[in-house]
Structure 1
Amino acid sequence: MSDDALTRLDHHYQSMPPVAAMQLRIAGFDGDRLRLHAPLSAHVNDKGCAFGGSLGSMMTLASWGLVTLRIEAAGLDADVYVADSQVRYLAPLFADLDVTAEADADADWEAFIATLRQRGRARIGLRAWAGLPEGGVATEFTARYVAIVRDPGHAAA
């Protein structure tokens, strides 16, 4: 994956005013996992820990970004939507928000891309989490994302 793809993703994130206000940045991408970071100071709640809505949003954005990067790497142009999601809050996070997203264990990127090419629409399951500085997980997220090719004639390419 090129640095250009990460730059485009970051510009897309920053073009959305609510996301720009989150002060998030891309912390890393290894082809399988996308990591985002945001300062606690922009997401602190009345208890002094990370706001639950911010954690849910960060995990939604990381998962969306991962799907977007994989589609772009396949040479496709598609809109990506979250179809459904579930968040579990396991422990308060009193540190910066560091979120990681990856495909579910039973997800298959090759099958997802093949279906997207063939049908112009595909779904894939993702999972994300916010880690605790001392180890462990503060918040878990599971979701299904849908991609729809913007130009169906381009899907067969």
Structure 2
Amino acid sequence: MGPLEQNFENTLFKLIPQTKNLGMQITRIEDHQITVRGDYALNKNHLDIVFGGSIAAISITTAWSLVQHKIEQAGFKGNLVIKRQEIDYLLPVKTNFECVASFQSLNDWTLFKNTYREKGRAKVIVTAEILSESKVASKFQGVFVLYQ
């Protein structure tokens, strides 16, 4: 983890304290993607698999983190919230895992920025996948809205 990731992880834990309890660790921030490591031991249930609620929470938070980081980089002020989400659980997770969130296309962020500058409100769709043992265990899609 580099200084960019560490600084944003500290911001995340401050803004959403519960994320620290999920054992989330931001491992990589790229221009249009963010990767988070998830801790199996902190999120397992009575079946010795990662709890579906943890998968949902980590997926939402990873996707939110991507947008929040880009908002901070752009110097925007406003409130970022999730408007809608959908998640498909494909495989049980029995190990530590990664969550990778990205925009649907490279143009999404540019459109988001331009809309926000013009209207003071913008939305963007972010996808996230939970990866466990090199397999996609869940697929998430969320609509996030920034407003003043």
- The reply to whether TM is greater than 0.5 is yes
Structure 1 counterpart of 2:25: 25
Structure 2 counterpart of 1:144: 143
Give 1:97 deviation, angstroms: 2.6
Question: C-alpha offsets along residues 55-98 of structure 1, whole Å, 9 cap, x if unaligned?
Answer: 11111001101001111222212211010000100000111131
Structure 1 counterpart of 2:54: 54
Give 1:104 deviation, angstroms: 1.4
- SS across alignment from 2:9: helix
| Cα distance in structure 2, aligned partners of 1:121 and 1:75 | 15
- SS across alignment from 2:93: coil
- SS across alignment from 1:108: helix
Hey, which bits of structure 1, 4+ residues long, moved more than 4 A?
Answer: none
| Cα distance in structure 1, aligned partners of 2:123 and 2:107 | 9
CA contact (8 A) 2:121 2:145 kept: yes
| Cα distance in structure 1, aligned partners of 2:106 and 2:39 | 32
**Once superposed, what is the RMSD of the aligned Cα atoms?**
1.8
Within a 5 Å distance, the mapping from 1:1-157 to structure 2 comes to 3-4=3-4, 6-15=5-14, 16-105=16-105, 108-133=108-133, 135-149=134-148
Structure 2 counterpart of 1:153: none
AA in 1 matched with 2:135: G
AA in 2 matched with 1:62: T
* Structure 1 stretch displaced more, 50-59 or 71-80: 71-80
| Cα distance in structure 1, aligned partners of 2:65 and 2:48 | 28
AA in 2 matched with 1:52: G
| Cα distance in structure 1, aligned partners of 2:145 and 2:73 | 17
What are the ranges of 5 or more consecutive residues in structure 1 without an aligned counterpart?
A: 150-157
Give 1:9 deviation, angstroms: 2.7
- Residue identity over aligned pairs, in percent, reads 21
The alpha-carbon distance between structure 1 residues 145 and 93, as it changes in their structure 2 partners (threshold 3 A), is same
| Cα distance in structure 2, aligned partners of 1:62 and 1:119 | 26
What are the ranges of 5 or more consecutive residues in structure 2 without an aligned counterpart?
A: none
